[in-house]
Amino acid sequence: MLKQLAVLAVLGTITGSTANGQDHSAHHTSPYAGFEERKIKSLSEQDITELQRGGGWGFALPAELNGLPGPAHVLEHKDDLGLSMEQIVAVQAIYDEMKQEAIDGGERFIEAEAALSRAFESEDLSEVDLRSRIEAAEKARADLRYVHLSRHLSTAKLMTEDQIRQYMMSRGYVEDPCTSVPEGHSAEMWRKHNGCK
């Protein structure tokens, strides 16, 4: 009898709060709301566009932010960096090869993610099939990331330490020592020791 009364009391509370317009569940929306309309649930249209054009998609950040420049941005800053014609030709070749491989790899990654997304539309997805699709998508992602990261290694080998330092300053990762002399230092000596012009 006590259990029945407790159940009725709970039901009365739930019914009463809903009837009084206090159902708060409608106010909780997921940050993923709208993603269900995507063709590939894990990729936005912007993601797909970036991958199809061979863009970096943030894959090379470990190299970029640790002082290993990528070919695309080195070419953008070639004048600031004082690249020789030989360097420009070599970096351009690295970039062209990377771009084509990144476009091809991006398509493989997109297709693998699409296959994974489609698999969940089926009611008979097995754990074995799920594991296989995840591994295919992760391999495609890893291969694509390698394309981008490896070209940072190749590009950095073509540059001098001064050019890499200038690249880091041009990209805003480090301050230009020539524009800010620390307090207590002789401006003339500071600029001399830092190779400022």
- Per-residue pLDDT reduced to its tens digit, 103-153: 999 999 999 999 999 999 888 899 999 999 999 999 999 999 999 999 999
* Residue 81 confidence class, pLDDT cut points 50, 70, 90: very high
Sign of CA dihedral 184, 188, 192, 197: positive
Q: Which are the contacts of 181, defined by CB distance < 8 A and separation ≥ 6?
A: 187, 190, 191
With beta carbons less than 8 A apart as the criterion, state whether 155 and 94 touch. yes
* Residue 87 confidence class, pLDDT cut points 50, 70, 90: very high
Locate the domains of the chain by residue range: 40-52+60-170
> How many Å apart are CA 190 and CA 14, to the nearest integer?
73
Q: What is the pLDDT of residue 181?
A: 66
Q: What is the pLDDT of residue 9?
A: 44
DSSP secondary structure string for all residues of 66-120? TT---HHHHHHTHHHHT--HHHHHHHHHHHHHHHHHHHHHHHHHHHHHHHHHHHT
Phi, psi of 82 (to 5 degrees): 65, 40
Confidence (pTM)? 0.74
Q: Which are the contacts of 120, defined by CB distance < 8 A and separation ≥ 6?
A: 41
Mean pLDDT of 175-188: 70
* Residue 19 confidence class, pLDDT cut points 50, 70, 90: very low
| DSSP symbol at 197 | -
- The burial of 120, by beta-carbon neighbours within 10 Å (0-12 exposed, 13-18 middle, 19 or more buried), is given as exposed
CA atoms within 13 A on the CB side of 17: 9
